[in-house]
Amino acid sequence: MLTTHPDVRREGSIERFSLKPLMSLTDLVIIRFAAATCAALIPLGGWAASVASAPYGTTRQGQQVTQYTLSNSRGVTMNCITYGGVVTRLDVPDRRGHRADIVLGFGSLADYEKYNGKIHFGGLIGRYANRIADGRFELEGHTWKLPVNEPPNTLHGGPHGFDEKVWSVVRTFQGAQGAGVQLRYVSPDGENGFPGTLTVDVTYTLTDDNEVRIDYRAKTDKPTVVNLTNHSYFNLAGEGSGSVEGQLIMIAASSYTPVRPDSIPTGELASVENTPLDLRALTPIGARLRSSFQQMRYAHGYDHNWKLNKNGQRNGEPTFAARVYDPSSGRVLDVYTTQPGLQFYAGNGLDGGVTGTSGAAYRQTDGFALEAGHFPDSPNHATFPSTELKPGDEYHEVTVWKIGVR
């Protein structure tokens, strides 16, 4: 159960967010702008939460891939596939009850195989989401060398990461808690240079409270480093609808990790105050996208890690991290997480070279990613939250996407 939800207060012409105690699960989809009250997501039927499966194709190596469709009683459906644990669709009603897919993706397994090693649409990222400097880190007195796939660094676990593997299905379930599927991938000792056999379980659950809950769990037989996330790109107006620059974002963070020109953190924490990275109030994504601020120039826009404030966190429950609101459709996406950081990426690398689910070519700012996780290059920064996992311990992180309308 989520513990807190964001509230909004107005200071002059600026809307500021704070966290207040949770009164009920219904309150989580209430969005208040000054005196305006936002309603919960419009129910579109009375069917129970359910899960269904269907063949999705065969990989180039001859592995069978299955698609799972999770549905709730309020008109939300989510599709994921065993290839990469990819979330291929997330269909959500708008304020008028019209449904649209709000995640970017491809229409075929062949396209996921061809492009997802670079674009990562909807995939489960590991062993180490984000970047590791120079493809190396030290652990227990030993230097581990990783393959470099974003020279001179390793990105998202290196080439052929977790989002290019076929995951097994441990179980599916449906009931009062929602509908879900538990996926597993066993990464062998030494895969992409990482030590230890790592057993990873990721569970997707779609609830009747219009939450997509992602539980990440992992165990190892040798000391290793782990950082898992999901790399879905969102467009709340609907996949293929064009730029997200007019959608509004806020991130509950007062500081971020500045980077070098190659997007590796310098190791310091810096205040967002008086920078384009101050997103503590709802701000159009495009308002500062072309700023001359050096950090924005390094990343060609937004591609940074924010240190989440984690106000009110208790008992390891996910707390509020970010909100995005689309004025045109009324859709709202709230992100809650147990993770310490959030990477906001505005699709800077999309250049029209790939065609999405609806047949539209994806270009810069046609989608955004909110990757909850640990900080980039944490194994090389002793002051960052540790990503080390030892035998006998369990890695467990949770991220929740809360869907609503205004």
Binding residues: 130-131, 231-233, 303
Choice among 92-101, 112-121, 303-312, 355-364 with the minimum mean pLDDT: 303-312
Spell out the long-range contacts of 271-274 with Cβ–Cβ below 8 A and sequence spacing 24 or more: 272/306
Q: Is the per-residue pLDDT at 271 higher than 90?
A: yes
pLDDT reading at 213 higher than 70? yes
Kindly tell me the burial class for residue 70, based on how many C-beta atoms sit within 10 Å of its own C-beta (0-12, 13-18, 19 or more): buried
By mean pLDDT, which of 37-46, 90-99, 316-325, 394-403 is the weakest? 37-46
May I ask the CATH class of domain 42-405?
mainly beta
Per cent of the chain over pLDDT 70 is 87
pLDDT at 105: 98
* 36 vs 47, more confident: 47
Please state the residue numbers annotated as binding site for beta-D-galactose: 130-131, 231-233, 303
In the prediction, which pLDDT does 311 show? Answer: 67
373 forms beta bridges with: 341
The pTM of the full predicted model, rounded to 2 decimals, is 0.89
Over range 13-21, report the average pLDDT. 38
pLDDT at 1 over 50: no
| CB contact at 8 A, 68 and 167 | no
Average pLDDT over residues 26-40: 33
Which residues are identified as catalytic? 231, 371
pLDDT for residue 203: 98
Q: Kindly report, residue by residue over 159-192, the tens digit of the pLDDT.
A: 999 999 999 999 999 998 899 999 999 999 999 9
